């Protein structure tokens, strides 16, 4: 399998690191600019709302002053109809603040009204603003209400007192919030084409001004901006409006009326310049990217070159000239220099260690017997040489209980004990192999009968030898024979294993010999009285 070279890994790593750093920087710039745009938009909307609220407050105070002046001009003139009519006309026409103006006596009857075509002179006003003016007898800006002619109206009035201080009536004007007036003109010039707009709500959360005239009189609930502004708070926040549009809203209260002015702009419109700005940043960064990657490529080659030379030479460590080639590698930094010295120092010990490691790789560290790899190695050799052999599979009876009763350390010593016993009865050419809690004894050029006798001798010997548990242990054994040729070694091992399991099933502490497939099995066990 082809492995990628370190130089390419380091190059990819450095490029990835540079790309990641650029990406993080670009994203950080994006987030910073985005938050800055939104913060600036929120603050601009707050300032704008505050400015309009202050302008509206100033306007209402100026209108109140005009009404107060008219009231002072009529303090002794309500008995003169021409004078009253002239003053009402002046009040309605001088600043275009009112859609209609009225002079009313103490009984609530209209003495004069403008425009004249209203036809209300001589009647008694029954509107909320009129009733409040008569009842409170003080300068008043009414809450918005629906008039008799179905207009949304704000009524601004001032009481008229005679020279002797007696209450004579009041004079005031109505502002129709849904029609053209000075307030509408002041707010209506600030509608933008990007979706930004402003609106005004009264204390009852009712729209009294909106760019969409159909929304005037609409009551809005659940809007945190409106909830804050009708409490008299000034500020800015991000909010989703009643139409589901994500907005940046600034808000401020009108002090004289308790109304709230809200100026808001869609988040989408606020962030629209962001894409172009980030694209411009990207364009300015691109000229530096190619030189940066070239420098990264050169540095990666410089760092990797000694390691690459060491790796190529070490690949052929068995060559006579490899040590000299390694010495000639220029290692200009600490890690590469240490690696070169370590390779040179290790070459001398390599062959010795390889021999030792090879032996260790096929040996079970607990018992010193061969492991599964050692078993396969020897079996491959015997099969190639067609050496027949017998196999004895041995297992300690109730070994799990030994571990549970005495602990794993004692269990390991028991396995070592079994391995020692099996060595004592084996020959120099035999193979002892541990597979978990089972031990195999492979006996080359040994008949099935001889193998059965050896297994039975081991069983009897073990049963009368005190084990590391402090008492005697018993073993069960299964024996099978491989005659060589085309017979399956795997099948022979399985038959030995099956014979072992049969010995377990038949009561343990016994040997079961698996005969050739056409013969019946022979079992031997403890003699009566033994």
How much of the chain, in percent, has pLDDT values that exceed 70? 89
Please state whether beta strands 475-482 and 511-513 pair in parallel, antiparallel, or not at all (unpaired): parallel
How much of the chain, in percent, has pLDDT values that exceed 90? 30
Q: Are residues 392 and 515 in the same domain?
A: yes
**Does a structural domain hold residue 243?**
yes
Q: Are residues 341 and 380 in the same domain?
A: no
Q: What is the pLDDT of residues 349-380, one digit of tens each?
A: 654 554 455 566 788 888 888 888 888 988 98
Give the model's confidence band at 316: pLDDT under 50 very low, under 70 low, under 90 confident, else very high: low
Q: What is the pLDDT of residues 62-75, one digit of tens each?
A: 899 999 999 999 98
69 lies in which domain range?
A: 59-173
Q: Which positions ≥6 away from 378 have C-beta within 8 Å?
A: 370, 431, 442
Q: Are residues 231 and 88 in the same domain?
A: no
Domain count, the chain: 4
**Does a structural domain hold residue 495?**
yes
Give the model's confidence band at 9: pLDDT under 50 very low, under 70 low, under 90 confident, else very high: confident
The residue from 146, 173, 200 where one domain ends is 173
| pLDDT reported for residue 501 | 93
Q: Are residues 71 and 163 in the same domain?
A: yes
Q: Are residues 330 and 382 in the same domain?
A: no
Give the model's confidence band at 319: pLDDT under 50 very low, under 70 low, under 90 confident, else very high: low
Give the model's confidence band at 521: pLDDT under 50 very low, under 70 low, under 90 confident, else very high: very low
Q: Are residues 409 and 354 in the same domain?
A: no
Please tell me the least confidently modeled range out of 149-153, 159-163, 184-188: 184-188
**Does a structural domain hold residue 153?**
yes
The residue from 255, 271, 287 where one domain ends is 271
Q: Are residues 198 and 223 in the same domain?
A: yes
Instruction: For residue 166, give the CATH number of its domain.
Output: 3.30.450.20
Q: Which segments within 185-311 are labelled E, that is strand?
A: 197-201, 207-210, 235-240, 246-253, 260-266
Please state the rounded mean pLDDT for residues 202-210: 88
Q: Per-residue DSSP letters for 343-382? A: HHHHHHHHHHHHHHHHHHHTB-TTTSSB-HHHHHHHHHHH
| pLDDT reported for residue 388 | 94
Q: Per-residue DSSP letters for 182-219? A: HHHHHHHTT--TTS-EEEEE-TTSBEEEESSGGGTT-B
- Interhelix angle for 6-73 vs 81-93, to 10°? 170
Contact 269, 194 (CB under 8 A): yes
- Taking 70 as the threshold, does the pLDDT of residue 523 lie above it? no
**Does a structural domain hold residue 26?**
no
Q: Per-residue DSSP letters for 410-449? A: HHHHHHHHHHHHHHHH--TT-EEEEETTEEEEEEET--HH
CA angle 271, 273, 279 (to 5 degrees): 115
Q: Are residues 149 and 69 in the same domain?
A: yes
Q: Quote the mean pLDDT of the chain.
A: 83
Q: Are residues 332 and 407 in the same domain?
A: no
Query: Which tokens is 366 given?
Result: 């607990």
Q: What is the pTM of this model?
A: 0.53
- Taking 70 as the threshold, does the pLDDT of residue 318 lie above it? no
What dihedral angle (degrees, nearest 10) is formed by the CA atoms of 500, 506, 511, 512? -70
**Does a structural domain hold residue 306?**
no
**Does a structural domain hold residue 83?**
yes
| pLDDT reported for residue 354 | 47
Q: Are residues 386 and 461 in the same domain?
A: yes
CA–CA dist 482, 492 (Å, integer): 6
The residue from 326, 361, 396 where one domain ends is 361
Q: Print the SS3 string covering 499-511.
A: HHHHHHHCCCCCE
Nearest residue to 206 via CA among 189, 224, 190, 230: 230
Q: List C-alpha distances in Å: 247 to 196, 225, 236, 261, 356.
A: 9, 11, 11, 15, 76
Q: What is the pLDDT of residues 118-137, one digit of tens each?
A: 677 888 888 888 899 999 99
- Taking 90 as the threshold, does the pLDDT of residue 312 lie above it? no
Q: What is the pLDDT of residues 42-89, one digit of tens each?
A: 999 999 999 988 988 888 888 999 999 999 999 887 888 899 999 999
* End-to-end CA gap in the chain: 61
| pLDDT reported for residue 524 | 47
**Does a structural domain hold residue 305?**
no
CA–CA dist 20, 13 (Å, integer): 10
User: Regarding predicted confidence, which is higher, 168 or 353?
Assistant: 168
**Does a structural domain hold residue 346?**
yes
- Taking 50 as the threshold, does the pLDDT of residue 193 lie above it? yes
Q: Are residues 209 and 335 in the same domain?
A: no
Please state the rounded mean pLDDT for residues 402-414: 86
Tokens 């009189």 map to which residue?
Answer: 217
Please tell me the least confidently modeled range out of 138-142, 173-177, 440-444, 476-480: 173-177
Q: What is the pLDDT of residues 299-308, one digit of tens each?
A: 777 777 787 7
Q: Are residues 160 and 191 in the same domain?
A: no
Give the model's confidence band at 500: pLDDT under 50 very low, under 70 low, under 90 confident, else very high: very high
Contact 479, 497 (CB under 8 A): no
| pLDDT reported for residue 96 | 78
């Amino acid at each position: 399998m082809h492995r990628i070279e370190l130089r390419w890994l380091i190059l990819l790593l450095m490029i990835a690191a540079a790309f990641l750093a650029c990406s993080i920087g670009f994203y950080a710039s994006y987030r910073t600019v985005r938050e800055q745009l939104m913060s600036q938009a929120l603050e601009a909307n707050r300032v704008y709302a505050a400015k309009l609220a202050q302008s509206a407050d100033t306007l209402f105070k100026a209108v109140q002053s005009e009404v107060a002046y008219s009231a002072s001009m009529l303090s002794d003139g309500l008995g003169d109809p021409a004078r009253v009519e002239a003053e009402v006309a002046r009040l309605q026409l001088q600043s275009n603040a009112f859609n209609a103006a009225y002079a009313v006596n103490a009984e609530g009857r209209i003495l004069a009204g403008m425009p004249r075509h209203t036809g209300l002179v001589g009647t008694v006003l029954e509107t909320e603003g009129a009733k409040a003016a008569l009842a409170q007898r003080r300068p008043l800006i009414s809450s918005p209400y629906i008039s008799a002619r179905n207009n949304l109206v704000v009524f601004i009035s001032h009481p008229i007192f005679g020279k002797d201080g007696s209450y004579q009536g009041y004079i005031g004007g109505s502002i129709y919030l849904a029609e053209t007036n000075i307030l509408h003109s002041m707010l209506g010039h600030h509608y933008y084409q990007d979706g930004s707009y402003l609106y005004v709500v009264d204390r009852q959360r009712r729209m009294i001004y909106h760019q969409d005239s159909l929304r005037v009189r609409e009551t809005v609930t659940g809007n945190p901006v409106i909830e804050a502004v009708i409490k008299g708070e000034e500020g800015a926040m991000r909010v989703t409006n009643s139409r589901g549009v994500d907005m940046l809203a600034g808000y401020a209260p009108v002090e004289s009326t308790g109304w709230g002015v809200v100026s808001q702009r869609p988040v989408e419109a606020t962030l629209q310049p962001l894409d172009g700005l980030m694209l411009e940043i990207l364009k300015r960064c691109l000229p530096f990217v190619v030189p940066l990657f070239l420098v990264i490529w050169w540095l990666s080659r410089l760092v990797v070159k000694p390691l690459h030379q060491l790796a190529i030479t070490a690949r052929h460590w068995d060559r006579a000239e490899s040590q000299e080639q390694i010495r000639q590698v220029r290692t200009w930094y600490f890690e590469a220099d240490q690696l070169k010295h370590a390779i040179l120092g290790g070459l001398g010990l390599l062959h010795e260690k390889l021999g030792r490691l090879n032996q260790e790789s096929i040996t079970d560290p607990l018992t010193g017997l061969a492991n599964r790899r050692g078993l396969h190695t020897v079996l491959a050799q015997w099969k190639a040489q067609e050496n027949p052999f017998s196999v004895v599979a041995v297992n300690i009876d109730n070994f799990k209980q030994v571990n549970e009763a005495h602990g794993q350390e004692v269990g390991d010593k028991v396995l070592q004990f079994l391995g020692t016993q099996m060595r004592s009865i084996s020959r120099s050419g035999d193979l002892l192999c541990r597979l978990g809690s089972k031990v195999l004894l492979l006996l080359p050029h040994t008949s099935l009968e001889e193998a059965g006798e050896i297994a039975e001798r081991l069983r009897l010997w073990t049963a009368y030898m005190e084990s590391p548990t402090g008492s005697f242990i018993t073993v069960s054994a299964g024996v099978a024979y491989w005659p060589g040729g085309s017979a399956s070694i795997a099948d022979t091992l399985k038959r030995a294993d099956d014979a072992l399991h049969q010995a377990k099933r038949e009561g343990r502490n016994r040997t079961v010999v698996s005969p050739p497939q056409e013969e019946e099995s022979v079992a031997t066990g403890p003699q009566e009285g033994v």
